[in-house]
Structure 1
Amino acid sequence: MKQMTSIRFWFIQTFMILAFIASLILFIGLQIYLYLFPDSGLTTTMTFWLWLYCFVIFTASGFYFSLRGSYLIKGRLTDILLFITTMRRGKFTDRMPTNEKDEIGLISEELNHLSEYLQEQVQSLQRLAEEKTELSKTAKSAAIMEERQRLARDLHDVVSQQLFALSMMSSASLRWFDQEPEKARKQLEQISEIAGKAQEEMRALLLHLRPVQLSGESLCEGIVKLIQELKHKTTLTFEASVDEIDHLSKAAEEHIFRIVQEALSNILRHADATRVKLFLSEENGYIHLYIGDNGKGFDIHEERMTSYGLKTMRERCEQIGGTYNIRSKENEGTYIEIRIPAMRRET
């Protein structure tokens, strides 16, 4: 069946039909000649053998030229097919000979140009991949350096100053211990308070340094585990409701978990809060996250609004298509509300 649909069979069929039509025309012409000139000396038998002889000649000639023509064209088309197969397998360095300037030769030239173009595209993709790798390394190094500088800044601005204050105040307390015990007692109370704040600051920094990955846990499990850890290590009281959200995309899980980490870290470091509310739920295709505290609050229009932690939370929220709102009032606390489309994990 494959041979019956090949270009060679089409050539032979076409030439045979042409030979038959030519023979038929010759036969009709001879019959007309006999009818118009009955005294020409030709007989019906003679015209039949003449037609049969011409028919054989026409058929043999058509068969020969059809085989010859189809062989040449099929060979050139086979070369094109093999060349296309080679390109499909990713080998773009080969080229086709383009000696002929007919239509098939023009197709061969265009295929050579296409192969050169694809080869250039592959090289461009390889260069882009290398550049992407280098940029990724550079971005990662820059992020690590920025995080180190931020932590160093936080340690210097808060913890190191608190430790220096503790050192100075403890030295003064030792001097006053025998002579002015009441003054030494008040100083020790201040030392205890500063030490507690330094401890809270270090816990916040350690919380921020926790890995983003959930280590195989679901988002709900990771947040509950984080809350339980803070309950044991801090004096914060939690009111929490964390719903299990199924089939959430990995990117959304990591960003939401990191937002929760950042928010709790800010509460530990800046809020002076005793109670934290945390609610995570899904409704109508959206994930709702609420985190609030009863701390000292701040003016959101001041420069502090542009702090690193708040900007990071906003950026992470926007990266997964969410909306971020923050409200705060001095001496009444702060809360954030986040609304994120439920980005499902592909299955």
Structure 2
Amino acid sequence: MIVRLFRGGKWQLLTMFVASSVTALLLGIAVWVGLADGDNVQTEVRYGAASVFLLVSAGFGYWTGQHIQRRIDTLQLALKQAVNGNFQVRITESGDSSFSELYREFNDLAELMEERMKRLQMTGEEQVMSQAASNEAAVQEERKRLARDLHDTVSQQLFAMHMCASSLPKLQEIDRERAASVLDQLIQMSTLAQKQMRIFIAQLRPMELEGRTLLEALDKWFPDYCRQNGLQGVFDWRLTEPLTEAKEHQLFLIVQEAMANVVKHSGAQSCSLSLTENERQVVLSLQDDGAGFRADQVRRGSYGLSTMQERAQQLGGLAEIISKPGSGTRVKVTIPKMWRRNENDDRD
């Protein structure tokens, strides 16, 4: 018990300073006594002895400071990583008992935070899928019904108009000039109406994954959306690991929200969408070359940031908009990768 007590940090520090002071003092006394016995000792030698005394004291002090500073630096580096979201960081306990207890407490805290983040992400993903099933099912079904009804009614009526207009040449027997003019007008009108209806029906179709992966969905949806809105789009996918269904669902909705903002607000000519990853995060980035805006416009809730933030936060992530007038806008979303559903999770 006594040995463990004196191995604590404060006692070890005190022991180092006492040992350095006693050693330097004994060395100084020995040198001083030895020099006092000599009658012809020069003053420079006495100064040299005093210098040795000071150097020994300073050396012990420097060694002690470095000894403690290295361990503080180790703890500080680990804390910075934890603040940046890396709760998997751990400090290897050394034989130095002065910091061992502190390191153990940090490791326990990091492990607790990692476990809580996993549970938060797992709960968030389950909520996402539950909400997707309960809240969006009715909306998606209504969109499908509306698109089907428009196709079966208005589009068919326009087709009938086209057929009737095509028969107008018979009017040439009565008034050839008038019939030809009406015929040309009706054909042009019906052709334009059918073209507009196809675009309208396509826009009303539900924007969902529909059993596809996120890569498959974006590979089709993103170029089509850019083309329909006069944008030059570049899509870059650099993910090597599969995403959970909840992550794919939320990221797809975030991309759609961000692209809608580009069309509504930016006045951009081109945009680039990328999905990349690092050791701990999936990173979604959407950059446009539009007009940009001031930071206070984002804080007022414009540009759909709140919706994207809510979707990212459900998975323990973060969404931010970086913009400056005249420099375009960048939407950046980061999602932790730390939890994945597997067979063990299902059995639990």
Give me the TM-score of the superposition, normalised by structure 2: 0.39
Greater relative contact order, per chain length (Cα 8 Å cut-off, separation 6+)? 2
Give me the TM-score of the superposition, normalised by structure 1: 0.39
Q: Which structure is larger by alpha-carbon Rg, 1 or 2? A: 1
